[in-house]
Amino acid sequence: MAILSSSSSSSSSTMQKGIVVTVPVLVLTASFSAIILFILSYSLSSCSCPSSSITSQNDAVVVAAVNDGGITLSEKITTSREDIEWVKDLIRSNGLHMQDNVLRKGINPRTRDQQLQDLIQYKGISHYEDDDAMNNHTALPCPGELLVEEHHSNYGEPWAGGRDVFEFLAEASQLKRNAKVLEIGCGTLRVGLHFIRYLNPESFHCLEKDELSLMAALRYELPSQGLLHKRPLIVRGEDMEFSKFGSDVAYDLVYASAVFLHMPDELVWIGLERVVDKLKPYTGRIFVSHNIKFCTRLGGGKCTERLASLGLESLGKQTHDSLLFNHYEIWFGFRRIKG
Ligand SMILES: C[S@@+](CC[C@H](N)C(=O)[O-])C[C@H]1O[C@@H](n2cnc3c(N)ncnc32)[C@H](O)[C@@H]1O
């Protein structure tokens, strides 16, 4: 008989009574615990559970769980209510309020123009003097206009809106890291940067016609964001010709953010006809922002008919709000209904 009790000499009378457990009961209990532990650890290690999908109290929060190609990742895409509360608390606890941006100790605010003039005049505080300084010391010399980020004001809307678009599109298309994405008219990569960062290398493609935007994308945005290693395939062109992206690519998402409204209707249709074969049937998505006048201008049921003739089906209209400014954006979704 084993007696489990307090061995302290100063134990109280209650403790001195102890708990009496027989040896067979002790052995049985230990064996039972061992079996339970074994079953638990086995089921955890051999679990073929579906990839996790963590949802916060905020329904808009998406966690894309990736369990393809042997990689298991849980990637949170959309900003959650908890994230917002966290940052608000931090601002509150630090007693922060918006201030005028004026000259103060250690801080000398400059407009983009002033900063560019400073760059031209002083070439930075410490700089190499010799003529070929750029060749010797700067691997990828960037024009001053790009360094002061003039191109961040190119679309009349805050640059931060690019993140809103990414979060909306990634959520709406249930985008995984190993997806393939094509942006038509990616401009300065306001939106594209977020896709490039999220996706596996060589998975983001873009067709863009504007040379200055392409310079900003390639000479400033990708290197300054440390994204050159993601090797996005960015092609200059305005003819909706996608052959340079390869013949066997199957896109999970094709999107045009603020682009089709600037193009002749017929060019949009040519583009859709060419891209539809490159879109994954049923699961792949095309998203077009702002409006689809290229289609509705056809009148009556002609819009649906012409889409159907390409093997496309409209998924209707959705909107998303901006996280940082009072703004919403309208999107029209499409999917390919023929294999
Ligand atoms: C308002 S900007 C939007 C840029 C980017 N999509 C964004 O949301 O930040 C429109 C872009 O579409 C491009 N674009 C217009 N017509 C095009 C065409 N036919 N082919 C490719 N790009 C075009 C413009 O050069 C410009 O960069």
Query: Looking at ligand 1, which residue's alpha carbon is closest to its atom 20?
Result: 238
**Residues 76-84: what's their mean pLDDT?**
95
More confident residue, 18 or 6: 18
Ligand 1: list residues with CB < 6 Å. Answer: 155, 162, 185-187, 190-191, 207-210, 213, 238, 257-259, 262-263
* pLDDT score recorded for residue 122: 81
Nearest ligand 1 atom to alpha carbon 187 = 27
More confident residue, 107 or 30: 107
- Which CATH architecture does the domain made up of 157-336 adopt? 3-Layer(aba) Sandwich (3.40)
How many other β-carbons are positioned within 10 Å of the β-carbon of residue 285? 22
Residue 333, pLDDT above cutoff 50: yes
Confidence category of residue 134, pLDDT binned at 50, 70, 90: low
Give percent helix, percent strand, percent coil of the chain, each to the nearest 5.
40, 15, 45
* pLDDT score recorded for residue 264: 98
Domain ranges of the chain: 78-152, 157-336
* pLDDT score recorded for residue 58: 33
3-class DSSP state for residue 208? strand
3-class DSSP state for residue 218? helix
Query: Looking at ligand 1, which residue's alpha carbon is closest to its atom 14?
Result: 185
Instruction: Determine which of 44-58, 245-259, 264-278, 310-324 has the lowest per-residue pLDDT on average.
Output: 44-58
Note the pLDDT tens digit of each residue in 270-283: 999 999 999 999 99
Distance between Cα 256 and ligand 1 center (Å): 8
Type of residue found at 88? K
Residue 119, pLDDT above cutoff 60: yes
Confidence category of residue 131, pLDDT binned at 50, 70, 90: low
How many other β-carbons are positioned within 10 Å of the β-carbon of residue 266? 9
d(CA 270, CA 207): 14
d(CA 177, CA 67): 10
- Buried/exposed code over 28-51 (b: 16+ C-beta within 10 A; e: otherwise): eeeeeeeeeeeeeeeeeeeeeeee
* pLDDT score recorded for residue 126: 80
Q: Taking all residues of the chain, what is their mean pLDDT, rounded to a whole number?
A: 84
Q: Are 171 and 62 in contact (CB under 8 A)?
A: yes
Confidence category of residue 12, pLDDT binned at 50, 70, 90: very low
What the block records as the tokens of 317 is 């209209």
Residue 202, pLDDT above cutoff 60: yes
Residue 253, pLDDT above cutoff 80: yes
* pLDDT score recorded for residue 34: 54
Distance between Cα 206 and ligand 1 center (Å): 10
Q: What is the DSSP string of 254-301?
A: EEESS-GGGS-HHHHHHHHHHHHTTBPTTT-EEEEES--HHHHTT-TT
Phi/psi at 327 (5° precision): -160, 145
